[in-house]
Chains A and B, each alone.
Chain A
Amino acid sequence: MKKFIPLIAVVILFSTAGYGHYANKMDKDVVQGYYRQMLPQTDHFDPIDDRTAKAIGADGNLIAYLGVCSNVGYGGPMMVGTILEPTGAIKGVMILQHKETLSYINKITQAGYFRQYIKKRADDPLVLNYDLDRISGATLSSRAIAKSVQDVAHTVSVKEMKVTPKKAGIPWNIGLKEIAVALLFILSVFIPRFKQLTKYRMVFLALSIIILGFWLNRSLSMGHVSAMFLGYFPSPSENPIWYIVLAGALGPALFTGKNLYCTYVCPFCGLQEATHMISKVNIPIGKYLKWLWLVRETLLFLVLFWAFLFVNPSFSSYEPFGTIFGLNGSSYQWYLLFVILLTSFFFRRFWCTAFCPVGTFLDKVAFLGRKIRGIIGLSSAKKARKADVKIAKS
């Protein structure tokens, strides 16, 4: 019975994802509800397409064009409403509903991000870093909103104004940041192969704390994993780091059967190791370890279950990565971070051992990788079993 538990868990998760998608489907009434929320004084709405419409007043005159569109920010999708004047000028932009990390929404709202849209027209390119300014520290959320506004405005421009929108012509965004992140992941695959290099693991982790942590704040989180399963993929040309991080963590785990991300790349793991090195205290967890692992696996299941049920990748995310590296979080998140770092003074990598759902997920992927290697004959079943035992012991 015990060996069927993972299979049952996977079946439950996929059924939940199916149900979540069905239950959260946007229908006509929901769209009409959004329109009414945006322009309550309108008599009726004449649809242009399934998410864009003309707002008609009681006298039969056109009041405005309006539309809704959803795009994924950092943690989840945001439903953005856009209102345009009959002349084609943007009149207002608002977030109608969101599943984004709350602190990014607050940042955008407080910085007055929406004001810059008022000067724009329906046929403008409406592209971030081209004719729109991003909010520093909330780039992904700013970009998601810009894409939603662009979608509605360009639909109105083409279908109602009969004007082709201007193009921004943004090339693939590969720069120093993308190269640095890719190098980190490539090196993490090669370092374990050379014994002389493994002693520099802490130096490598320090590099990761700087690059993936404080500089970019793009460490792998459950938001990434849930978004991947829910099909929320950002644009690869605009957000290549998202793909580099996901592929860099999952690829080696699947192909080598080892969770290299947690050992060599995770910046939060590096921080915990650093605090542990300062204290030099290492209290063994001993006989409680298997219970902590059991809870950790249950936590992974619950995090995915909630994310799938509410079709929201960030909803069940509780990791403090964004708090420390983005210096952005609620009071509870700061308390949590403080307690974790304090605990890692006494228990080595306490968060990784007891709570981290990302590490648990990567361990599972690595396990799957070892099984596949065993099945297709890249390594014998005996060797794969030996590797399992060795990893469990370490």
Chain B
Amino acid sequence: MQKAKTEAKREEDQVRKKKENISAIMLFILYGLTSLLIVLVLLENWKAR
């Protein structure tokens, strides 16, 4: 019983960690993409100066 409980908790932790990792990767990609586009907009402003 105890073993099953520990196993379930471990699985739950693994799922939570996996979710957190996916969120972090998504955040990293979208943040990076937005930053890149902001730099390109600023470069465009610089050229039109």
Of chain A, the residue at the smallest CB distance from B34 is: A339
**Bound: A354/B34 CA distance, A:** 10
How far, in angstroms, from A314 to B33 measured CA to CA in the complex?
23
Which residues of the other chain, A, contact B48 by a CB distance below 8 angstroms?
Answer: 102
Contact A330 to B44, CB < 8 A, known contacts A310-B49, A339-B34:
yes
Which residues on A sit within 8 Å (CB–CB) of B41?
318, 330, 332-333, 336
Complex formed: what's the CA distance from A350 to B30 in Å? 10
For A312, the chain B residues whose CB sits under 8 A away are: 49
In the bound complex, CA of A350 to CA of B24 (Å):
14
**Which one of B27, B34, B38, B44 contacts A288 once the chains associate, using CB atoms below 8 Å?**
B27
B34-49 contacts to A (CB < 8 Å): 34, 37-38, 40-42, 44-46, 48-49
**Nearest-neighbor residue (CB-CB) of A342 within chain B:** B30
Using known A-B contacts A283-B26, A350-B30, determine if residue A317 contacts B37 with beta carbons closer than 8 Å: no
Query: What is the distance, in angstroms, from A87's C-beta to the closest C-beta of chain B?
Result: 37
Report if B14 contacts A (CB, 8 A): no
A229 on the interface (CB 8 Å rule)? no
Residue A335 at the B interface, CB < 8 A?
A: yes
Q: Does A347 contact B (CB under 8 A)?
A: yes
Determine if B49 and A343 form an interchain contact, defined as CB atoms under 8 angstroms apart: no
Asked whether, in the complex, the Cβ of B34 is within 8 Å of the Cβ of A318, the reply is no
Write out the residue numbers on chain B whose beta carbons fall within 8 Å of the beta carbon of A284: 23
Q: Which secondary structure characterizes the binding site on chain B?
A: helix
A99–B1 Cα distance when bound, in Å, is: 73
Residue among B27, B40, B44 facing the most chain A CB atoms (10 A cut-off): B27
Contact: A340 with B34, CB < 8 Å? yes
* CA A353 to CA B37, docked complex, whole Å: 17
Q: Which of A26-48 contact B (CB under 8 A)?
A: none
A187 within 8 A of B: no
Tell whether A346 is near chain B: CB-to-CB under 8 Å. Answer: yes
**Interface pair B38/A318, CB less than 8 Å apart:** yes
**Residues of B close to A11: CB separation below 8 A:** none
- Closest 9 pairs between A and B when the two form their complex, measured CB to CB: A336-B37, A102-B48, A332-B40, A343-B30, A318-B41, A283-B23, A318-B38, A332-B41, A339-B33
A sample of 12 inter-chain contacts (CB < 8 A) reads A102-B44, A283-B26, A292-B31, A312-B49, A315-B46, A318-B38, A318-B42, A318-B45, A330-B44, A332-B40, A347-B30, A350-B34
| Interface positions of A (Cβ within 8 A of B) | 99, 102, 283-286, 288, 292, 310, 312, 314-318, 330, 332-333, 335-336, 339-340, 342-343, 346-347, 350, 354-355
Starting from the known contacts A286-B20, A330-B44, 15 additional A-B residue pairs (CB-CB under 8 Å) come to A102-B44, A286-B23, A288-B27, A292-B31, A316-B45, A317-B45, A318-B41, A332-B37, A332-B41, A336-B37, A339-B30, A339-B34, A347-B30, A350-B34, A354-B31
